[in-house]
Amino acid sequence: MTQYPHNFNNNTQLLHWLFRTGKIDLNEGRLFEHKPIPLPPAMNWNRIEGMILGLAIGDALGNTTESLTPQRRQIQYGEIRDYLPNRYANYRPVGLPSDDTQLAIWTLEELNGNHGLNPDCLAQRFTQGRIFGIGSTMKGFLRHYKSGLPWFESGQKSAGNGALMRIAPIVIPHLRSQTKALWVDTALAAMLTHNDSASNAACLGFVAMLWQLFSRSTVPEANWWLETYIQFTQDLESDSSYRPRGGAFTEDRGYLWQFVERRVSQAYQQGLSVREACDRWYSGAYLLETIPSVLYILMRYGDNPEAAIVRAVNDTKDNDTIAAIVGAAVGALHGKDALPQRWQVGLLGRTAERDDGTLWRVLEIADQIWWHY
């Protein structure tokens, strides 16, 4: 277990120390000053199930063709609307996880078991199982943590999407308390693996958006997605040196939120299809590609969960993660019942090689601990 230089009574004190010592790559923006908006009486667990299932379904629909370009994927598979035969399930067309689902559900397991976030326990959990399709940043985190570094010095300076893809469950322990501790826990969970300005800010912005979606009874206007993300993140980022690694905008340089504001709004004004827009900024695992892709899909298809996830699966390169993030958002907005039944039935609920149903069991325990207690 990590030995801290001070005794911290709670995660808020811990985060204040990380800010004060410069150990977290993040500005202490306005978001930390305000409680989450109160959830309405009509809020129900169906929204939480939708968020988690949307994440897992998006991952499962995408991970069998991850890293193919949309053009190559279409040539090989046509339009993907259902699970493809999977060699890890005797070639049955069922939904299996990659690291997106694994790390999200392991996070929820730890939140359940510790009755909240203990970053060191979460770090240990990430070391205890085989991670499917593990990324280079996660490998770096594990290497540092296993070498004896404290968890808060093990996160990598990486603007990849590996923290964002697993962050959604962090909202669950805060559904009843609804305090500023939500932002504290989000920042701590984010920096664990990806201690990077853009990644930390993106995780906070996405969690804040999910919370807003829980409060909505109607589908937001298209511009809401872009404007809300920018509103929450623009004073959180501390690094203005981000540049695209490919696509049409390689001369851009600045904050992630600035790139998103400029290029996503431009694509929407021009009426580009999802594939056209995502091809312009490239749609891989780098946050200057993932965040624009997610927001653009939600702007175009946020009113239709199936269409949003299908477009993420077919029209992006890092399609499992982008579909998982899109799926979490539309699931939080529309609820579990709006996700196609065939996708829910075909999802095996694994987080390891042969643990069918684990996802459902973890969700049921979370319901008992955090909602229907």
> Could you report the per-residue pLDDT of 268-322, keeping only the tens digit for each?
999 999 999 999 999 999 999 999 999 999 999 999 999 999 999 999 999 999 9
Report d(CA 143, CA 138) in Å as an integer.
9
pLDDT at 7 over 90: no
Q: Higher-confidence residue: 4 or 157?
A: 157
Residue 163 has pLDDT above 70, yes or no: yes
Predicted pLDDT of residue 30: 98
pLDDT of residue 1: 66
The radius of gyration of the chain's CA atoms, rounded to the nearest angstrom, is: 19
- Residue 156 forms beta bridges with which residues? 194
φ/ψ bin of 350: left (φ > 0), alpha (ψ from -120 to 50), beta (otherwise): beta
Higher pLDDT, 22 or 2: 22
**Phi and psi at residue 95, in whole multiples of 5°?**
-95, 115
Which band of pLDDT confidence, cut at 50, 70 and 90, is reported for residue 249? very high
pLDDT of residue 6 exceeding 90, the answer is no
Beta bridge partners of residue 160, listed in sequence order = 286
* Percent of the chain residues topping a pLDDT of 70: 99
Average pLDDT over residues 227-248: 97
As a whole number of angstroms, the distance between CA 250 and CA 282 comes to 11
Report the pLDDT value the prediction gives residue 162, as an integer from 0 to 100: 99
Give the CA dihedral 233, 32, 118, 190, nearest 10 degrees: 10
Q: According to the annotation, is 100 in a ligand binding site?
A: yes
pLDDT of residue 180: 99
- Average pLDDT score, the chain: 98
42-72 pLDDT, tens digit per residue, is 999 999 999 999 999 999 999 999 989 999 9
**pLDDT at residue 367 is higher than 80:** yes
Cα angle 26, 27, 30 (rounded to 5 degrees) comes to 130
- Tell me the mean pLDDT in the region 350-364: 98
Q: Is 293 annotated as a binding residue?
A: no
Domains in the chain (CATH in brackets) are 47-371 (1.10.4080.10)
The pLDDT value given to residue 96: 99
Distance CA 91, CA 32 (A): 47
pLDDT for residue 2 is more than 90: no
Is there a binding annotation on residue 320? Answer: yes
With 80 as the cut, is the pLDDT of residue 373 above it?
no
* Residues 105-119 pLDDT 10s: 999 999 999 999 999
At residue 4, the pLDDT reads 76
Is 321 within any annotated ligand binding site? Answer: yes
